[in-house]
Structure 1
Amino acid sequence: MGVQIGSNVKDPERIRERRQQIVEAAVRLFSEKGFHKTTTREIAKASGLSNGALYEYVNSKEDILFLVCQHIHNEIARQLDIHLTDADSGAAKLRRAIEGLFAVMQRMQADVLLIYQEAKSLPRPYLREVLRQEQRIVEMFEHLLQEGVKDGTLKVSCERIPLLAHNIVVMGQMWAFHRWALKDVSFEQFAELQTSILMSASGAVDAPLE
């Protein structure tokens, strides 16, 4: 079992609702001011809670940062799931998942940057869990690559699959990390080229690199 954030409240639905308010407020504030310059009092006010009430649902600002990271990874995974259907071939599933990854990275640029800028402030057990959550996303692509190899729609050696899965995730994150340097490139151009590169690297016969 992963990291569990303690709460003085016993109602699971109330905890979920209040933590969602806290996370939404913290994402805005951390993105604007950074983790260290944001106070829990500011987070409480922005989430519609008193400072005392906030501590009914979390124990520290680090707890809040962990919940923010967890929320972002869960949303990325949820969006990837939306782009998949059981009827697709392995190659088609992979293409849709890559396109879904780019779409969610485009929409959640600030959130993705937030994780990489601020996660270093987490206590070690929390950081390990955040890294495990990111690995879960990488493993989704590993499974898709393996499925494509199994049904013959992808031609890539099993030894290369783990590295290729990491490459897919990193190339998706590139839109968030290097957006400042890609001012003359539209998101559509970026997504089309990156998808073509990754599908070709995966050995998809219908994905020549243009």
Structure 2
Amino acid sequence: MKRPVKASVKDEKLIEIRRNQIIRGAVTLFKEKGFHRTTTREIAKAAGFSIGTLYEYIRTKEDVLYLVCDNIYDGVKEKLSEMDVNGGTISQLKQAIAYYFHLMDELQEEVLVMYQEAKSLSKDAIPYVLQKEMEMVDMFQVLLRNCVRSGEIELDEQQIYVTANDIFVQGQMWAFRRWAFQRRYTIEEYIELQTELVCHGIECKRGKVKHGNLSTKA
């Protein structure tokens, strides 16, 4: 269930506008300083208004972190909804992986903030945020199940669950391990390598890898 963030202002449209300003300012500060070293006064200044105005739209600094994480997850999920998960071919699986990884590249700063700071969310907020993440993992489970139904791959439900999570984390890894990966790979090279590993794992389960070469239906 979505965690309510109380505001003293009653105008819902104004609340949305001001909170978007707060989120933009906070993301910049959290990237630079981290959540704990950022003050609410700094957040207010980055958002473009006074500390008094800030507290008309939130109650605590933890409220700001929740709004930031919620906004990032909503943005990622909205863009992921543009993926074609209803297909049932290896080619469509590869296209979905590439689309998701490019999205992680585009939002790498925001993804980094999530992974560094989500642990500071309140106990009542963490389950909600984690559920939103699993809803995105579910998109890849749907695609993998459709590939199973079409006969393109052979995975049971446990393998589908693990593979979907693997894909999800590999995409996010581009953001939180970028200091290492970007020294060696472009995003396209990273996508190619990770996609090959995913498909290789699937093909190994089918027993169709010969002499280290992939054999997939494209």
Q: Same fold (TM over 0.5)?
A: yes
Distance 1:187 1:84 in 2: 21
Distance 1:9 1:93 in 2: 47
The one-letter code sitting in structure 2 at the alignment partner of 1:179 is R
The alpha-carbon distance between structure 1 residues 209 and 146, as it changes in their structure 2 partners (threshold 3 A), is same
Cα pair 1:196 1:209 within 8 Å, conserved? no
Distance 2:124 2:215 in 1: 42
- Structure 2 unaligned spans of 5+: none
The residue that corresponds to 2:41 in the other structure is 41
The residue that corresponds to 1:141 in the other structure is 140
Superposed displacement of residue 173, structure 1: 1.5
Q: For residues 183-207 of structure 1, what are the alpha-carbon distances to aligned partners after superposition, in whole Å with 9 as ceiling and x for unaligned?
A: 02111110111122223434599x9
Q: For residues 58-104 of structure 1, what are the alpha-carbon distances to aligned partners after superposition, in whole Å with 9 as ceiling and x for unaligned?
A: 11110110111111111211221223275x43544432321122111
The residue that corresponds to 1:3 in the other structure is 3
The residue that corresponds to 2:214 in the other structure is 208
* Larger radius of gyration between Structure 1 and Structure 2: 2
Superposed displacement of residue 164, structure 1: 1.0
SS across alignment from 1:56:
coil
TM score, norm. by length of structure 1: 0.89
The one-letter code sitting in structure 1 at the alignment partner of 2:101 is F
The residue that corresponds to 1:32 in the other structure is 32
Computed over aligned residues only, the root mean square deviation of the Cα atoms, in angstroms, reads 2.3
User: Aligned pair 1:114/2:113, yes or no?
Assistant: yes
Within 5 Å, give how 1:1-210 maps onto structure 2: 1-84=1-84, 88-182=87-181, 183-203=183-203, 208=214
Distance 1:193 1:152 in 2: 24
Superposed displacement of residue 125, structure 1: 0.9
Distance 2:202 2:77 in 1: 21
TM score, norm. by length of structure 2: 0.86
The alpha-carbon distance between structure 1 residues 85 and 171, as it changes in their structure 2 partners (threshold 3 A), is closer
Quick check: 38-47 or 91-100, which moved more?
91-100
SS across alignment from 1:176:
helix
Cα pair 2:141 2:164 within 8 Å, conserved? yes
Cα pair 1:79 1:100 within 8 Å, conserved? no
- Aligned pair count reads 208
SS across alignment from 2:81:
helix
Identity of aligned residues (%): 41
